[in-house]
Amino acid sequence: MPRPALEVADIFRNHGPSYRAREAGHLSLGQLRVMSAIEACRTAALGGHVMRCADCAHTDIAYNSCRNRHCPKCQAAAAYDWLQARRAELLPVPYYHVVFTLPAQIADIAYTNKAVIYGALFKAASETLLTIAADPKHLGARIGVTMVLHTWGSALTHHPHVHCIVPGGGISPDGLRWISCKPRFFLSVKVLSRLFRRLMCERLAAAHAEGALQFFGDNAALKNADAFQKFLRPLRRMEWVVYAKRPFAGPDQVLSYLARYTHRVAIANSRLVAFDGARVSFKWKDYRREGQARYGVMTLDAHEFLRRFLLHVLPGGFHRIRHYGLFANAARAENAAKARALLAGAVQPTPAQNSASANTAPAEPATPTPCPCCGGPMILVEVFERGAMPKARTFPPAPQWCDTS
């Protein structure tokens, strides 16, 4: 794949050193690591390997990637592997997309309490879906949920929300049948919103009582218990945004959607428009407008662009993709097999049968990358370490000629 004309890494390499100096003492260790990783990605700093065509001697040098989960260039392989693992778990039913968004007031305090508030967001949203779905007045079934955390808006501002992919139905409490939701309708958004609001506010109050929240600057007064309760009071009365999209057509469409969302970073290289050395322009959507008016180009000072990008660095070890209910990691494969059996009206296969059938397809051998010049096989001729330069010379393609004697 050809290198994009402009990459996020170009902006980090140009302005990273000056931004570090300006923000010395204010950047977290995680943010500094992300900066270093993106700057070094696909450069000699991380080492690499040399491939040469066996036919025409054309040589390619490939530098190693940083594999950081915040790097725009390093998500394709991770997304592919994750999606292949999910493919076997998809059920032959409509899937729904539900989004839970934190109000701006909570997003403001979440920045200095990422692990606590993002974790509470996952728990409150998942508990909301599982509780309402289990209620016989709504669905009366155990459902499965896959959730993905995004912390950004289109303008790179701090906008925490979780995307949830949910099959349109679940397993009955007695485990004997599959219960489908109403056609093209999953669960009441208003009911989901009100339970989500209550659960999230309860978790925030509990976290504050435990001393798990930190407050700085304009929010410093919220350290006081009475001030924090006053802060929560209007939030308990306002409408919270829960959005449900129409169902996906089938499993292939679900996978296509997941490919776009699960391993996305704050901004893709493809959204960058221009960089003049001082300012960065990128494509964005203003969701307050309708039609073509919502599409535009935003220009930011390079340091402001870096600041906004680094807002979205997650705490170390924090999982941004999580599974709940039937899809919880401990029993995901077993529950998926049971759901398929109930949907097909068949006897549920045993775990041994499941694992055997899942491994019957032989792995296809890896195909060598063809030479871009002549199509011949490319052969590995050298591996070089971090900070080293390749020793192998690069050769131009050999002239193409035919023996006519």
Confidence of residue 29 (pLDDT cuts 50, 70, 90): very high
Q: What is the mean pLDDT of residues 20-32?
A: 95
Question: 233: domain range?
Answer: 89-266+311-357
- For residues 281 and 309, what is the distance between their CA atoms, to the nearest angstrom? 14
Which position has the higher pLDDT, 310 or 245? 310
At residue 51, does pLDDT exceed 80?
yes
Looking at the chain, the whole-number percentage of residues with pLDDT higher than 90 is 59
**Contact between residue 99 and residue 128 where contact means Cβ atoms under 8 Å apart:** no
- For residues 75 and 187, what is the distance between their CA atoms, to the nearest angstrom? 33
Q: Which residue has the tokens 């591996």?
A: 383
Report the pLDDT value the prediction gives residue 233, as an integer from 0 to 100.
Answer: 97
What total number of domains does the chain contain?
1
Report the pLDDT value the prediction gives residue 365, as an integer from 0 to 100.
Answer: 44
Tell me if 68 is assigned to some domain: no
Tell me if 172 is assigned to some domain: yes
**Contact between residue 342 and residue 334 where contact means Cβ atoms under 8 Å apart:** no
Tell me if 287 is assigned to some domain: no
Q: What is the CATH number of the domain that holds 336?
A: 3.40.1310
Spatial neighbors of 111 by CB under 8 A, at least 6 apart, are 158, 311
Q: What is the mean pLDDT of residues 88-93?
A: 85
- For residues 235 and 220, what is the distance between their CA atoms, to the nearest angstrom? 19
Q: For residue range 302-325, what is the model confidence (pLDDT) as tens digits?
A: 999 999 999 999 999 999 999 999
- For residues 107 and 118, what is the distance between their CA atoms, to the nearest angstrom? 10
User: Residue 364 is encoded by which pair of tokens?
Assistant: 């296809």
Tell me if 250 is assigned to some domain: yes
Tell me if 331 is assigned to some domain: yes
Tell me if 40 is assigned to some domain: no
Which position has the higher pLDDT, 2 or 157? 157
Three-state SS at 391:
coil
CA angle 38, 117, 78 (to 5 degrees): 35
Tell me if 273 is assigned to some domain: no
Spatial neighbors of 170 by CB under 8 A, at least 6 apart, are 133, 139, 141, 142, 143, 144, 178, 179, 325, 326
Output the average pLDDT for the chain.
87
Count the Cβ atoms, other than its own, within 10 Å of residue 400.
Answer: 8
At residue 138, does pLDDT exceed 70?
yes
Report the pLDDT value the prediction gives residue 348, as an integer from 0 to 100.
Answer: 41
User: Residue 10 is encoded by which pair of tokens?
Assistant: 């170009």
At residue 284, does pLDDT exceed 50?
yes
Q: What is the mean pLDDT of residues 184-193?
A: 87
Tell me if 49 is assigned to some domain: no
At residue 369, does pLDDT exceed 70?
yes
Q: For residue range 374-384, what is the model confidence (pLDDT) as tens digits?
A: 888 998 888 88
